[in-house]
Amino acid sequence: MRPFSKDVEQYQQKEQRSLWQLKLNTEQENLRLFQLHLWELKGIELTYYFQSYNCATITLELLALLDSDILKYRDKIITPVDVVKATTMVELVEKIDVIASDLWLGNVIYNELNHINIAEFLSEYSSNVEQLSHFDKIYINLLLQNQNAVNLSSDEISRLQDKLKLDIQSEDDKVIDLTNYKNPTLTPQDSAFSLAMFNSRFDNSDFNSAKLRFLTAGHFLSSDNRQYLSESELLMGNVVFDIDSINNNIELDELTVYKVKSLPVSVAPFFNLSSEVYFGYKPKYTSELKEKSVLELSGGVGKAYQFHRDVHGYFLFGVGLIANITRAEFFSKAHVGLNINMLFDTKFNIEYSYENRALWESGKLASLDINLSWFPHQDWSITLSSRTSRSEIVDLSRIGFIVTKHF
């Protein structure tokens, strides 16, 4: 337990996250009992056990003092989002307040403005601040905090800041409601189970395969990520089994310890790079485009762009190390992709990947992956996938059908 002000500073200012405050709907004596239990935890440093007992678990069990029904939502692994969802489900929430970081606020306002060219936007209004809407004033104030984002003299910046500060303070009755913007209660659950069926065409012959996946925590790039600030992928404890129906055999295909792909876009005055990190055991193609699982440690950086609020593109360049029992090799890679959120709760992903393992038996490899996902329910997704891969000596094409249940 620690003062809330430290969390506000850490998450809102340093990490540029938004904080959601939930006012609890219960009797005063219940709140008093809740506060007394919190006071008992003052100064205690909690040992964090991700797989069983963590700070979210303690929070959920404390909330059971107010409504025991909340324990119905106590799973093996509990995250902070699970606590928010459970509190909402048992109707313990009376009111929600959002403490927005500058990054989140900038994204909200930028998407609402018709002004795309920042220089024109500033020059149009800098001489007449009174023309600005409340949205415009807050956004320009954010821009002026980073002088590199604006082409104005220091005197002009100071004059505008002083004027905007007075105007914004005089309009305190105008509130930007962020409770319906990127709502965490609308995200799919963090754990997932999926079944995938594939048909592959290779060397003028067809063969079928199936894969079972269990994801301990995270989400996929093809998931419904509309409630996140930017497109991303997070896999922690991702286990995939390959099912060979011909030989009646099941073997470990993938064991991802940690993977993150973050694709934030730059919104003035915030410059963001995209990045990717992977550590685990995963299948890689040989020169004959046969899958062989190896250990991999890799990373990359790049840039993401927003062409429309529902259309995002990106590129990433990276390097990595792969190894099996007998050898280890470095490789370089490049990715170019596009993510589109479409009508009727559907999503389209396309990514072209190029990998160079000149010292490895597979040499140069190129793949084009296409996914079309439908989200009939918050915790369900159905995906049609297609992959076309090419090495220096052979081609492979694969189509698949994937059903995923988040829980």
DSSP letter at 195 equals E
- Decide which of 99, 125, 155 is a domain's last residue: 99
202 band by pLDDT with thresholds 50, 70 and 90: confident
> Which residue from 262, 259, 243, 239 is spatially nearest to 251, judged by alpha carbons?
243
The per-residue pLDDT for 340 is: 97
Classify the C-alpha dihedral 390-392-395-398 as positive or negative. Answer: negative
Q: How many CB atoms lie within 10 A of CB 333?
A: 19
Same domain, 160 and 210: no
Is 215 inside a domain boundary? yes
The per-residue pLDDT for 124 is: 59
**Mean pLDDT, to the nearest integer, of 119-146?**
63
Same domain, 52 and 95: yes
Q: Tens digits of per-residue pLDDT, 342-368?
A: 999 999 999 999 999 865 556 789 999
pLDDT over 90 percentage in the chain: 39
The per-residue pLDDT for 35 is: 87
Same domain, 193 and 310: yes
Same domain, 316 and 240: yes
Which is higher by pLDDT, 161 or 330? 330
Is 221 inside a domain boundary? yes
Q: State the chain's mean pLDDT as an integer.
A: 84
Same domain, 95 and 116: no
CA atoms within 13 A on the CB side of 316: 26
221 is in which domain, residue-wise? 187-406
Same domain, 323 and 218: yes
Is 66 inside a domain boundary? yes
Same domain, 93 and 106: no
The per-residue pLDDT for 270 is: 80
Same domain, 220 and 353: yes
Q: What is the DSSP string of 260-282?
A: EEEEPBPBTTB---EEEEEEEEE
Q: Tens digits of per-residue pLDDT, 46-75?
A: 666 555 667 788 888 889 989 889 998 887
**Mean pLDDT, to the nearest integer, of 303-317?**
94
Same domain, 267 and 380: yes
Same domain, 242 and 375: yes
126 band by pLDDT with thresholds 50, 70 and 90: low
Same domain, 10 and 52: yes
- Decide which of 99, 133, 149 is a domain's last residue: 99
The per-residue pLDDT for 51 is: 54
The per-residue pLDDT for 288 is: 80
Which is higher by pLDDT, 372 or 23? 372
What domain count does the chain have? 3
- In this predicted structure, the answer to whether residue 28 has a pLDDT above a threshold of 60 is yes
d(CA 184, CA 347): 19
Same domain, 349 and 279: yes
The per-residue pLDDT for 49 is: 57
The reported pTM is 0.80
- In this predicted structure, the answer to whether residue 193 has a pLDDT above a threshold of 60 is yes
- Decide which of 145, 170, 195 is a domain's last residue: 170
**CATH number of the domain bearing residue 283:** 2.40.160.40
**Mean pLDDT, to the nearest integer, of 259-281?**
92
262 band by pLDDT with thresholds 50, 70 and 90: very high
Is 296 inside a domain boundary? yes
**Mean pLDDT, to the nearest integer, of 240-264?**
91
Strands annotated E in 176-248: 192-202, 205-219, 231-244
